[in-house]
Structure 1
Amino acid sequence: MPGPAPAPAARDPRGGTDTATRSRREEPTRGGRRALRGGSAPEPDDDLDITDDGPELPIVPVRRMLALAVAGFALLMAVGLVMGAQTAGVGFGRVPYAVVIFGAQLLYMFATTMAMRPPALRVVATVGVLAALAADVGAILPDAPSITPLGLVAAGGLVAGVLGQMFRPQGRMRVSESLASTVVIVLGVVSFATLIVLTRVPAGTQAIVVCLIASGIALGVARLTDVIAPWPRLADQVPRGSAGIVLGAMLGTAAAALIGRYMVPFTPHEAALVGMAAAGAAVLADLTIGFAEAGRELAGDAPTMWLARHMQGPLAGFALAAPVAYVISVVFLVPA
């Protein structure tokens, strides 16, 4: 007599095949996965932890010859601005110094515009040039030296930037980026004009000498140190070393104290404090530009023009040191 019929194989709810066939087709593999002999993709176990941090970012090398060239540019800028202040006359005799300042303003505007590349480039550049001219005129013409006209020029430049952005064919597209670039450029060119006002203030020319020499030495030494010992690195994507930043600020302060021994109305102690403030502001502004450029490259933006990219740091340092010199002169020197 025939035996009882075999029971039907159990169905696998995942694939519709019987579990016996499925068990014969599966093989355990290393790493906690199961692979199918039939060529299907492996299935990861639930307890398998797979992490992917993405590709590692490359370390940007320090280009020593480029650092040497930037150091020379910073020192030349300091010499030009200081020598121009020493030759400034009275009244319209300050026009030659205003021409020197206008040249620095144009360099700053060009470098910043090329580095930031705002969407309304022509509008931003036009506003920057007009603000530079208006600030220089406002620093020379008033009977009494004051930075009030410079504040009005800065406010007018920002308003002009907003209006120019609104009348563009693209309208309000990327308006925030354009306005941010306008703010940086207008404030920078107006800051340079404070040096013209300083030549009209008692002890202002001496303050220019102390602050700008300290700033130039700080910027130059910081870059020269990167040529010799660019370590420890502040960030892998920023080719700067912290040793240069610290050493530059220290030697800039020491140079200011030495100048204070021979320049009235400064004492070495007062000149050291003034130089420390200006040198620290200059090197920090230069370093901030480096981090901003690295951030733009990490965001996927195309590299900017190399000349503008490397000129922007020292120019921003002098643009920040100029109002520092004015504030220190008016607050500490004029009342004395």
Structure 2
Amino acid sequence: MYPSTPPETGRDSWPETGRDSWPENRTGPAGPHRAPDPRGRPAGPDPRSPLDGPRGPEASRHGAGARSGDGHRSVDGHRSGDGARGIDGPRPDGEVDGDLDGEEELPPVPVRRLLSVAIAGFAALLGVGLIFGAQTAGPGARLPFAVVVFGVQLLFVLAWTMAMRPPALPLVGGVAVAVAVAADAAAVLPQIAALAPLGYVAAGGFLLGVLGQLVRRADRARVTESLGATLFIVVGVVAFGTLIVLSRIPKGTQAIFVCLTAAAVALAVARATDAVLPWPRLAPQVPRGAAGVVIGAMLGTLAAGILGSYLVAFTPTSGALVGLVAAAAAALADLAVGYAEAGRLMAGEPPTMWVARHMQGPLGGFALAAPAAYAMSVFFL
């Protein structure tokens, strides 16, 4: 026990036992004691003190334990020490720091080999039909090729409207079919082959879709979604009409032969490779492999280069260059369709019609390869 204050100072000595306090008017490390009661009660700690505990030098021995020692209660009333939660201490059982470690991942979509082979066959047949249709077109006989293109346009409208399911589906489908007829007529009838009439048809079809959407009050709330679907389908339909315009210019038929062959080979090989070697997976929800896309584009370019060595209007280099653009465009469009379908399924939307869903990729690939073939022919041939 430490010695108390000397008596000559006029202050009471420290009690050997008892409880002390920290009053509000404390001026020293010990704090004043209560004055002796006139009725004879001994002096002691102030009962108004909010805290208890040893005072003076003895507090230095108990301060650490009273505030943050093992198993003691601190000034603010919280437990601290072993097993307690401090500012940076462990959280209670079952509680995880920050965000969750990871959301529950969806199981990967399996690759259906027979389906991949079937889609590869459809892409090959589609390419053969367009190529042979272009070969039947002559200077005064564009109508047979226009009929072939119109059939492909109808398949495109059916597949993409059923896949995108815009709010006013009959209206969007009807406008797309009307645009297909007008685009083919605009490609066949003018005396001079040009893309300007096709641009006017596309703008008019989109404007017609906007007006039809605004008239329908039931679907006006989803007008943005419907207009986006209308624009996409109208542009795709008009893109096939560029093949008719390309068949009317010099070297156009040979360009169609080279470009569509490259696109068909790229699509068919990519899908067939997915049936054998779908690796590495580009995404767990997309049943496609990177090997198929790369090999398909390479073989499509090779096929175009070989054809370029036999055609009068091409060389192996120009054929490979034109074929590379067409093959890459078709392969990437087909791959983008897979990602779009996976996004719709992950968003909770019901799957589309089985046939339309698997026709989308090849149709979208040829729809993108057609204007690419026209652009390469005009700029490089």
CA contact (8 A) 2:335 2:361 kept: yes
User: AA paired with 2:104?
Assistant: P
| Structure 2 residue aligned with 1:193 | 241
| Structure 1 residue aligned with 2:58 | none
Q: Does 1:59 align with 2:94?
A: no
How far off its partner does 1:130 sit? 0.4
Q: Distance in 2 between matches of 1:150 and 1:319?
A: 14
| Structure 2 residue aligned with 1:107 | 155
User: AA paired with 2:218?
Assistant: Q
How far off its partner does 1:156 sit? 0.5
| Structure 2 residue aligned with 1:211 | 259
User: AA paired with 1:101?
Assistant: V
| Structure 1 residue aligned with 2:344 | 296
**Aligned residue runs from structure 1 range 256-275, under 5 A:** 256-275=304-323
CA offsets 1:61-104 (integer angstroms, 9 cap, x no match):
0000000000000000010000000011223x111110100000
Q: In proportion to residue count, which structure has more helix?
A: 1
How far off its partner does 1:108 sit? 0.4
TM-score after normalising by structure 2:
0.75
User: AA paired with 2:327?
Assistant: A
| Structure 2 residue aligned with 1:158 | 206
CA offsets 1:110-160 (integer angstroms, 9 cap, x no match):
000000000110110011000000000000000000010000001001101
How far off its partner does 1:171 sit? 4.9
Change in CA separation of 1:300 and 1:258 when aligned onto 2, cut-off 3 Å: same
CA offsets 1:293-326 (integer angstroms, 9 cap, x no match):
0000000000111110110000000000000111
Q: Does 1:179 align with 2:253?
A: no
CA contact (8 A) 2:167 2:219 kept: no
How far off its partner does 1:46 sit? 9.3
Change in CA separation of 1:171 and 1:74 when aligned onto 2, cut-off 3 Å: closer
Three-state SS of the structure 2 residue aligned to 1:173 is helix
How far off its partner does 1:47 sit? 9.9
Three-state SS of the structure 1 residue aligned to 2:287 is strand
How far off its partner does 1:109 sit? 0.5
User: AA paired with 1:284?
Assistant: L
User: AA paired with 2:333?
Assistant: A
Q: Distance in 1 between matches of 2:350 and 2:94?
A: 42
User: AA paired with 1:272?
Assistant: A
Name which structure has the greater RCO, CA cutoff 8 Å, separation 6+: 1
**Aligned residue runs from structure 1 range 219-230, under 5 A:** 219-230=267-278
Three-state SS of the structure 2 residue aligned to 1:58 is coil
| Structure 1 residue aligned with 2:333 | 285
Q: Distance in 1 between matches of 2:196 and 2:235?
A: 14
| Structure 2 residue aligned with 1:126 | 174
Q: Aligned-pair RMSD on alpha carbons? A: 1.7
Q: Distance in 2 between matches of 1:88 and 1:321?
A: 19
User: AA paired with 1:86?
Assistant: Q
Q: Distance in 2 between matches of 1:207 and 1:48?
A: 65
How many residue pairs match? The answer is 292
CA offsets 1:43-64 (integer angstroms, 9 cap, x no match):
x739942636443211000000
User: AA paired with 1:45?
Assistant: P
| Structure 2 residue aligned with 1:84 | 133
Q: Does 1:98 align with 2:156?
A: no
| Structure 2 residue aligned with 1:12 | none
User: AA paired with 2:129?
Assistant: G
| Structure 2 residue aligned with 1:27 | none
Q: Does 1:45 align with 2:92?
A: yes
| Structure 2 residue aligned with 1:20 | none
Q: Distance in 2 between matches of 1:47 and 1:233?
A: 35
Q: Distance in 1 between matches of 2:286 and 2:312?
A: 41
CA offsets 1:10-54 (integer angstroms, 9 cap, x no match):
xxxxxxxxxxxxxxxxxxxxxx89xxxxxxxxxx73994263644
| Structure 1 residue aligned with 2:118 | 69
Q: Which of 297, 309, 313 is matched with 2:357 structurally?
A: 309
Three-state SS of the structure 2 residue aligned to 1:151 is helix
Three-state SS of the structure 1 residue aligned to 2:282 is strand
| Structure 2 residue aligned with 1:3 | none
Q: Which of 321, 324, 328 is matched with 2:376 structurally?
A: 328
TM-score after normalising by structure 1:
0.84
Q: Greater Rg, structure 1 or structure 2? A: 2
Q: Distance in 2 between matches of 1:52 and 1:233?
A: 24
User: AA paired with 1:81?
Assistant: L
User: AA paired with 2:92?
Assistant: D
Structure 1 regions of 5+ residues with no counterpart? 1-31, 34-43
Of 201-210 and 165-174, more deviation after overlay is shown by 165-174
Three-state SS of the structure 2 residue aligned to 1:174 is helix
